[in-house]
């Protein structure tokens, strides 16, 4: 009988080891070439994240400051800024209408209502406050309440505002008034815990503190932030607010500088915000 022999083919152990070695060498070479592009992508992602955080914070602060009551911005320390946000405003009547009636503004006596020239966007609610001719100085400072009246009721339309009987010390040259919300009489942006940790990350936090009653006199330090206060930004390594009230005759200037740091990389953002100081 003839014997039929069949040969079996396959990899030997030596061949398998050689293939694994060659593959490892190729992988190491590819990794060297891919490392820089990957590191560059991670750096770009981190910078984009930091820039977005800083830009969002600056935009929110700028939007709030544009609604600040004229001459109400103040900064106790470089790490904070405080102001009174307005929700509406308009012009009041200074003379009777054609029929001899109307709620006319005067400083010679107490008044409890004013007619609005035009209409307000919304009807003020009980507890809102009306401010007239705020100069931010003694005798005309909304923080002390001398030129402020509390809204008691509004008319059926947005053309009449009722408030507790008040004798305002001054009239506005432009016949203007502003309205402050009862739910948010003052707002502070406060930076706390500024610095760097061992990993190269910023340790500071930026808060938006609101719904509190501000002090009648400018405090000497930033307010203490209570638990539950909304956080606007974290990982801050630098934060500075500067307010110049006399930059121009009609407006002040708030300068804001933020530095946000992660993994020893910092994104710095600087913004100037013009504040309308025409009362």
Classify residue 74 by its DSSP letter: B
Cα atoms found within 13 Å of the Cα of residue 39, Cβ hemisphere only = 7
pLDDT of residue 112: 93
The mean pLDDT value for 173-189 works out to 94
Q: Which of 25-34, 90-99, 249-258 has the lowest mean pLDDT?
A: 25-34
The mean pLDDT value for 156-169 works out to 85
Classify residue 202 by its DSSP letter: B
pLDDT of residue 178: 96
Band (pLDDT 50/70/90 cuts) for residue 265 is confident
Residue range 70-103, pLDDT digits in tens: 999 999 999 999 999 999 999 999 988 878 788 8
Backbone angles phi, psi at 156, to 5 degrees: -70, -15
pLDDT of residue 10: 61
Per-residue DSSP letters for 94-159?
-S--TTS-S----SSS-EEEEEEES--SS---TT-EEE-S--SBTTB-TTTTTTEEEEEEE-SSTT
Mean pLDDT of all residues belonging to the chain: 86
The mean pLDDT value for 50-79 works out to 91
Band (pLDDT 50/70/90 cuts) for residue 247 is low
Band (pLDDT 50/70/90 cuts) for residue 47 is confident
**Token pair for residue 83?**
């102001």
CB environment 214-237: b (16+ within 10 A), e (fewer): beeeeeeebbebeeebeebbbbbb
pLDDT of residue 100: 79
pLDDT over threshold 70, residue 38: no
Band (pLDDT 50/70/90 cuts) for residue 37 is low
């Amino acid at each position: 009988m003839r014997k039929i022999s069949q040969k079996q083919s396959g990899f030997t152990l030596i061949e398998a080891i050689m293939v694994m070695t060659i593959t490892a060498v190729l992988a190491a070479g590819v990794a060297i070439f891919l490392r820089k592009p990957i590191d560059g992508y991670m750096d770009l992602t981190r910078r984009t994240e930091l820039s977005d955080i800083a830009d969002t914070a600056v935009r929110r602060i700028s939007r709030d400051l544009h609604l600040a009551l004229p001459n109400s911005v103040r900064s106790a320390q470089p790490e904070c800024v405080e102001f009174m946000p307005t929700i509406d405003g308009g012009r009041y009547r200074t003379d009777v209408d054609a029929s001899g009636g109307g709620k006319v503004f005067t400083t010679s006596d107490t008044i409890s209502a004013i007619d609005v020239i035009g209409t307000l966007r919304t009807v003020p609610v009980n507890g809102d406050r009306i401010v007239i001719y705020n100069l931010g100085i003694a005798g005309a400072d909304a923080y002390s309440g001398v030129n402020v009246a509390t809204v008691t009721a509004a008319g059926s339309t947005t053309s009449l505002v009722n408030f507790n009987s008040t004798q305002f010390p001054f009239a506005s040259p432009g016949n203007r008034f502003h309205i402050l919300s009862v739910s948010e009489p003052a707002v502070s942006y406060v930076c706390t815990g500024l610095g760097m940790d061992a990993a190269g990350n910023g340790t500071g936090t930026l808060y938006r503190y609101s719904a509190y009653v501000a002090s009648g006199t400018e405090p000497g330090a930033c307010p203490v932030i209570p638990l539950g206060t909304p956080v606007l930004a974290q990982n801050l390594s630098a934060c500075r607010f500067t307010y110049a009230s006399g930059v121009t005759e009609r407006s002040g200037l708030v300068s804001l500088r933020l530095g946000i740091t992660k993994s020893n990389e910092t994104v710095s953002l600087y913004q100037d915000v013009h504040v309308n100081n025409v009362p």
